[in-house]
Amino acid sequence: MSRYKGKTALITGASSGIGAAFAHELARRGMNLILVARSADRLRKLADHLTAQHRVRVEVLPFDLVTDGAAERVRAEVSQRGLTVDLLINNAGFAAHGNFEEISAARDHEMVTLNVTALVDLTHAFVPQLLARGGAVINLASVLSYSPTPYMAVYGATKAFVISFSSALAEEYRGRGLRVLALCPGATETAFFDVVGSDSMIIGAKRNAKQVVATALRALERGQSVVIDGVGNAFMANLVRLLPFALAARAIAVVTRPKTAPTPRTAQASEQ
């Protein structure tokens, strides 16, 4: 517990799903929290609960990370409140499922902005202090990071970026006191698949958000740079990565192909 107690974690997409599970577990371990998401009411409700239950300091920052300059505004607000971040968890993100031409260009642009640009901007904003404090970054990737993903083409590509970016930084900062981890969950019991409306995309049993968080923190403590949550997910991801890209895309398409008439569906991988 000593590696967490009294330190501060900043979690994006913190109001639900994996982000909220990180908040619960880190507060249990004695960490103070900075919770970032669009939903101010949900964040404040979570903050009040965690403060009462664990007696930790919980700050709420209701920001939309898709807007220009959001990362710098988050950094400035954290500084203004006299806080310093020891653990940055870039969890916010969303996905869209459907035929590419049926998904609006604006929505895909927003997805790239949140899943990639905001993640990189926040990492830039906080790495100097994380490096000085021997801190860590956890970036949410996905099992879909390992192959092209038809019918979720942009989402899969953004998550491939996350795993490449995180792995590169992990090596760059190896031996300098800053740990970087890419966390790759598979199907998880959050609102993601409820919104996508395609349980047929799930292979095997869903994991829950608490299990995903346990996997992440265990991997971080072991100094890993990439971790896939769940034995079954790890097996499938490593199997697919052995295939040529074209064959991998064909195999994944069997699972992700819409089972009804083409209608774009958008899912919040985590609350922005």
Residue 173 is a catalytic residue: no
Which residues 6+ apart lie within 8 Å of 137 measured at CB?
Answer: 87, 88, 89, 90, 123, 126, 127, 130, 166, 169, 178, 179, 180, 181
Sign of CA dihedral 122, 88, 209, 200: positive
Query: How crowded is residue 22: how many other Cβ atoms within 10 Å of its Cβ?
Result: 31
Q: Which one-letter DSSP state was computed for residue 200?
A: G
**Do 96 and 110 meet the contact criterion of CB atoms below 8 Å apart?**
no
The total number of residues written for the chain in this structure: 272
**Do 74 and 118 meet the contact criterion of CB atoms below 8 Å apart?**
no
Q: Can you name the residues that pair with 138 across neighbouring β-strands?
A: 89, 181
Q: How far from 253 is each of 19, 155, 184, 197, 204, CA to CA, in Å? A: 28, 14, 19, 16, 17
Strands (DSSP E) found in the chain: 8-12, 32-37, 58-62, 87-90, 93-97, 136-140, 179-184, 226-228, 265-270
Query: Catalytic pick from 4, 146, 151, 155?
Result: 155
Which residues 6+ apart lie within 8 Å of 218 measured at CB?
Answer: none
Residue 257 φ/ψ, nearest 5 degrees: -60, 130
Catalytic residue numbers, as ranges = 155
